[in-house]
């Protein structure tokens, strides 16, 4: 999480970002040239998820 900007960004793939789309307020998806989601950006994250919840997230690579 980028605390200064209140943004959480998850990069799902290393492919180049060809396009971004705000699919709902504060949720932006990044797509590669084939239309696959390669990134997820959540704006204003602290308004929707408490820091305790955020710290309890566990991510695993597949």
Beta bridge partners of 43: 7
Q: Find the helix or strand (DSSP H, E) in which 10 lies.
A: strand 7-11
If one compares 11 and 60, the residue with the highest pLDDT of the two is 11
pLDDT of residue 20: 98
Provide φ and ψ at 43, rounded to 5°: -90, 150
pLDDT of residue 62: 62
pLDDT in tens, 22-55: 999 999 999 999 999 999 999 988 887 777 887 7
Every domain of the chain and the residues it spans: 7-47
pLDDT of residue 50: 79
Stated pTM of the model: 0.75
pLDDT of residue 18: 98
Average of per-residue pLDDT across 12-31 = 96
DSSP state of 55: H
């Amino acid at each position: 999480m980028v605390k200064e900007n209140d943004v959480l960004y998850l990069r799902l793939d290393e492919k180049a970002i060809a396009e971004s789309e705000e699919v709902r307020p504060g949720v932006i998806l990044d797509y590669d040239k084939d239309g696959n989601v390669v990134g997820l950006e959540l704006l204003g994250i602290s308004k929707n998820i408490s820091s305790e919840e955020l710290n309890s997230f566990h991510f695993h690579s597949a």
